[in-house]
Amino acid sequence: MQKSIKDGYLEETNGLYQLTERYRTTWPRIRKLVETIGQRMFEEKPKENPMKIEKNGSWHWLTTQDMAFLTLFTLNMLIEECLTKNILLLGLAKDTAARDLKNHVLPVLITNGVWKSEISQTDLSNLPNTDRMLLQSLSIFNHKQIPVPWSLVEYDASFLSIVPDYEHRPGYISGAIRNKVNPERLFAKTYIQLSQASYDPQLRSNVLLLDRLAYPGFDDQPTSLTEFKHTYGGADEEVQPILYRDSKVKNPMQELVMLTLSAMTSNSIPELFGHNKPLFIADKVAKWHNEEMRRVIDTTGKWLMNNPRLRRFVFYMSTFRERRSEIETNRRESY
């Protein structure tokens, strides 16, 4: 706190702390900046390239770092809008290599007695490498006991930053990196499987990773939370991540999500099997645009390489590895 006061972020009055005047309007100013640039890029028809912004009387290209900045705060604005208007925000990953269920959720909950199991950390390490592979294997080999569609119980996304307590104290956890735990009760995660073939119950779609925004009034009930203690900076703090412990705990949000996603899949298209149809269509459109732009860029590159006035410049601006790769490719193609 004292460092924040010294750096000018906070001010103290009679033992009470508050943001300094300069930073009280930080979020509205950032929001206005993002909206202004977004409107220029997608809605207006500016004289200059929409990927340029005017600064100090001259035009500058937006860099990848600028785009990352805009994307970050656009996501924050989206979360704010969804929470304000109770809009369901979902994220699906079809080919995930996530291991947080295997490496974080199971060890933490078993160690603290939330879930009862005789499985050890050594046994967990011998399981399939990723959560998706593990769950797909369980689904295939237990297809009679696990009907499709199914979903795991939901757990807090902050479990990715949580590990069992380093001192093995019951009821305690530790942070995975520098003993820090991400803010909890923001997103809930689960895994789902939506489809199977009508002629073979073992032929099932891929398991998908699902993230959804956590909503006050639904995901902050006593039955949907679990409590741990976390020692950080010499003090014990309470950590209350989302955890629907079993199928007996009511979860109307998950029921809504599963009904919605089940209605949005289709088995009529092979590559759509068990996936989300609107996302599939959007992905196809994005790939088409990417292919078109790639052709434009490749054509421009070949024009530059074959321009006599630029050939020497391009030769010296390219790296040795690039020149060697190009020469070897041309040599192979000539045979």
What are the residue boundaries of the structural domains of the chain, listed by start?
A: 2-85, 90-275, 282-334
Residue 185 pLDDT exceeds 90: yes
Q: How confident is the model at residue 266 (pLDDT cuts 50, 70, 90)?
A: confident
Residue 241 pLDDT exceeds 80: yes
Is the separation of the CB atoms in 185 and 241 below 8 Å?
A: yes
Cα→Cα distances 227→126, 156, 187, 256, Å: 29, 12, 17, 26
Residue 330 pLDDT exceeds 90: no
Closest of 277, 279, 185, 179 to residue 232, by C-alpha: 179
Q: How confident is the model at residue 56 (pLDDT cuts 50, 70, 90)?
A: confident
Residue 318 pLDDT exceeds 80: no
* 41 φ, ψ (degrees, to nearest 5): -75, -35
Is the separation of the CB atoms in 248 and 254 below 8 Å?
A: no
Crossing angle of the two packed helices 308-317 and 277-305, in degrees rounded to 10:
110
Q: What is the mean pLDDT of residues 305-327?
A: 76
Percent over 70 (pLDDT), the chain: 99
Q: What is the mean pLDDT of residues 176-193?
A: 92
Q: What is the mean pLDDT of residues 202-223?
A: 91
Q: How confident is the model at residue 139 (pLDDT cuts 50, 70, 90)?
A: very high
